[in-house]
Amino acid sequence: MLVLGIESSCDETAAAVVGDDGRVLSDVVQSQVATHAPFGGIVPELASRDHLKNARFVVGEALTRAGVTLADVDGVAVTNRPGLVGALLVGVQFAKGLAWAAGKPIVGVDHLVGHLLAAFLQRGPAPRPIPEFPFVALLVSGGHTAIYRVDGLEPGAIRELGATRDDAAGEAFDKVAKLFGLGYPGGPVVDRLARTGRPDRFDWTAPMRSASSLEMSFSGLKTQIMQHVAEHGRPEGEALADACASFQAQVTFVLTRKLVAAATREGVRHVVIGGGVAANAELRARVAEACRGAGLVAHLPEIASCTDNAAMIAYAGRALFAQGRRDDWSLAATSKTSLPRATRKGGGAR
């Protein structure tokens, strides 16, 4: 089964063709970073316009690179939630047009489910070991930070175990980078600078560090850094690298500790990470080491599978098609995830 995936939930226009067993036949990502960088963040209206401008080229390129035509694909999967509604609408309408014209089935995919399944993608010549259900997953992106137990793909089989009460981890990276004058998006720059820095130079601490709760909080850490910059000015040179390392060590420590605690509590052996922050070198190293120590199997998707892409959407769509699920032409875009929120920020009981 060949599925064409289309993704336009935020600031990347992406299309991909994925075949059997998660084989990625093509994966095209058109980033809008240059469009939004002068504004220090994403401007929703500009994102929609850029998607409109780029969708045709990106989808055409994905089919060409996969060596297939629209007639060869078995279905179209498109991100329809969560995200910027204007941005999502472009992808959803584009996908409907293609599916209608080619007489193919269409299915809407939750972007977060795409991130949770990215560890199944096969990009290289050697097969990657894939996670076994049930697994515990840490989803860390610019908009979301949560830990899930994933028993399968049927409705109700993905359960939120814990989440941030305030900022997402990626949001914290981006805001701290902005405070340091490092531009947008900040995650990759902080990651790079932290490699040469000393993580013990600044005594900033992330709150809610205890492994007894799976809820998290990152906004207090950002506030400590904001106060430091207000008092002492922006760190520069060696101090900047140390500041990045000190901040990053706190975030990655908390994320890793809670992920391992969740897997242990659930009695689940397979552990997955996903989302843009899962590209972070320190997080990857910490998760790999902690899982080894706890007898858990860690699945770290390739970097291209962590940040926003359409291959993960195509793969999730393929899994839905395989279950006989598909949508009709009333498929709508919405800003909310389909995954039930269980933790306090989501209005849950805990």
Minimum separation from the CB atom of position 202 to ligand KG4 (A) = 18
The H or E element spanning position 149 is strand 145-150
Residue type at 338 in one-letter notation = S
Residues 6+ apart with CB under 8 A from 349: 342
340-159-334-331 Cα dihedral, nearest 10 degrees:
-110
Position among 79, 141, 145, 337 found at the interface with Zn ion (CB under 5 A): 141
User: Which does residue 173 bind out of ligand KG4, Zn ion, none, counting CB within 5 to 8 angstroms by kind?
Assistant: ligand KG4
Minimum separation from the CB atom of position 111 to ligand KG4 (A) = 6
The three-point CA angle 183-188-190 to 5° equals 70
Residue 144 is encoded by which pair of tokens?
Answer: 């979301």
DSSP-derived pairing of the beta strands 75-81 and 24-31: unpaired
The residue (of 39 and 100) whose beta carbon lies closer to ligand KG4 is: 39
Residue 311 is encoded by which pair of tokens?
Answer: 């291959």
Block residue for tokens 């058109």: 30
- Per rule CB under 6 A, is residue 5 in the interface with ligand KG4? no
User: Which does residue 277 bind out of ligand KG4, Zn ion, none, counting CB within 5 to 8 angstroms by kind?
Assistant: ligand KG4
Position among 27, 160, 215, 308 found at the interface with ligand KG4 (CB under 6 A): 308
- Per rule CB under 6 A, is residue 187 in the interface with ligand KG4? yes
The H or E element spanning position 114 is helix 111-117
**How far, in Å, CA of 251 to CA of 172, rounded?**
9
The residue (of 19 and 170) whose beta carbon lies closer to ligand KG4 is: 170
**How far, in Å, CA of 41 to CA of 269, rounded?**
38
Position among 160, 167, 215, 308 found at the interface with Zn ion (CB under 5 A): 308
Scanning 13-21, 50-58, 304-312, 320-328 for contacts with Zn ion by CB under 5 A, the matching segment is 304-312
**Per-residue contact string for residues 209-248; x = within reach of ligand KG4 by CB under 6 A:** ----------------------------------------
Count of residues engaged in binding ligand KG4, rule: CB under 6 A: 19
Position among 90, 99, 277, 314 found at the interface with ligand KG4 (CB under 6 A): 277
Residue 56 is encoded by which pair of tokens?
Answer: 């045709």
What residue ranges bind ligand KG4 (CB under 6 A)? 10, 141-143, 170, 173-174, 185-188, 191, 275-277, 279-280, 307-308
